[in-house]
Amino acid sequence: MNKNLVIMFVKEPKLGFVKTRLSKSCGEEFTLDLYKCFVHDLITTLKVGEYDFKLCVYPNLDLVNKEFGDYHNFLQVDGDLGLKMKKAFFDQFAHGYEKIVLIGSDTPHISKEIFAESFFQLNSNDIVLGPSLDGGYYLIAFNKNTFHDEVFKNISWSTSSVLSQTLEKLNDKKIYLHKILNDIDILDDLKEFYNEYKNSDFKNSNTISFLNQNQN
């Protein structure tokens, strides 16, 4: 077993269940297909890394394992996002991992370099964060011996205050911040993402290919 792990939070890929804010503008079928592209692109990136990765799934494993593959995937616990993340870290550290990076599935353009840099920066920092444009974060990472579960308590999840509230709990910790990336939650996010990445190194991804075929 590798001592380094990436956990990706994934929802069951079914109609009307994923990216609900985006689906109000784009329709449920388009949004579901796009979400599958997001996850497949992230898995493609994770497969080339020198670490283990697992999907942390809500609410059932079967459909996720069938669509995306079983990488020793496991279920999210019930509760708010903070409790889900805290428990995922806690349980996987208990399985013997020394460094863990956790991401969502709203940022398909996270590069292999960001994952590699996250593990490297954990050599000299207590926590690594990837800030998102909406005031949250797309990535959070800890060493086993620097795990600080206070960052998951009393946070206003799904608001623009998530990152600032998190940083307030870390004023005595060594923090590494990645570059800001755009979580894709609403149509404006998707348009900005497409314009920025359609001619980039990400242009051959499932996500960009799908958007190229479905321009309207």
Q: How many CB atoms lie within 10 A of CB 20?
A: 12
- Per-residue model confidence (pLDDT) at position 1: 75
Token reading at 149: 């579960």
- Per-residue model confidence (pLDDT) at position 31: 97
Single pTM value for the model: 0.97
CB-side neighbour CA atoms (13 Å) of 117: 14
- Per-residue model confidence (pLDDT) at position 216: 62
- Per-residue model confidence (pLDDT) at position 120: 98
Domain locations in the chain? 4-213
- Per-residue model confidence (pLDDT) at position 213: 96
Q: Which residues sit opposite 181 in a β-bridge?
A: 132
Helix (H) or strand (E) holding 101: strand 99-103
Report mean pLDDT in 10-residue bins for the chain, 216 residues: 95 96 95 98 97 97 97 97 98 97 97 98 98 96 96 96 96 95 94 95 96 87
Architecture of domain 4-213: Alpha-Beta Complex (3.90)
